[in-house]
Structure 1
Amino acid sequence: MPRPDRSPLLLAGLLAAAGLTHFVAPRQFDAMVPRALPGAPRSWTYASGAAELALAAGVALPRTRRVAARAAAAFFVGVFPANVQMAADCRRRPAPLKAAALARLPLQVPLVLWARGVARSGEGRS
Structure 2
Amino acid sequence: MSRSDRSPLLLAGLLAAAGVAHFAVPRPFDAIVPRSLPGSPRTWTYASGAAELALAAGLALPRTRRTTALATAAFFAGVFPANVKMAVDWRHRPAPQRAVAFGRLPLQVPLVLWARGVARGGEGRS
Asked whether the 8 Å contact 2:73–2:112 carries over to 1, the reply is yes
Map of 1:122 onto structure 2: 122
Provide the alpha-carbon RMSD of the alignment.
1.2
Structure 1's consecutive aligned runs of 4 or more residues displaced over 6 angstroms after TM superposition are: none
Output the CA distance in 1 between the equivalents of 2:124 and 2:29.
Answer: 37
Residue-pair matches, total: 125
Q: Please list the CA deviations of residues 38-84 of structure 1 after superposition, one character each: whole Å capped at 9, or x if unmatched.
A: 10000000000000000000000000000000000000000000000
Normalising by structure 1, we get a TM-score of 0.97
Identity %: 78
Confirm or deny that 1:102 pairs with 2:102. yes
Map of 1:43 onto structure 2: 43
Cα 1:27–1:121, aligned 2, differ >3 Å: closer, same or farther?
same
Normalising by structure 2, we get a TM-score of 0.97
Output the CA distance in 1 between the equivalents of 2:97 and 2:21.
Answer: 18
Asked whether the 8 Å contact 2:62–2:124 carries over to 1, the reply is no
Output the CA distance in 2 between the equivalents of 1:117 and 1:4.
Answer: 9
Give unpaired runs (5+ residues) of structure 1. Answer: none
> Superposition pairs for residues 44-83 of structure 1, below 5 Å?
44-83=44-83
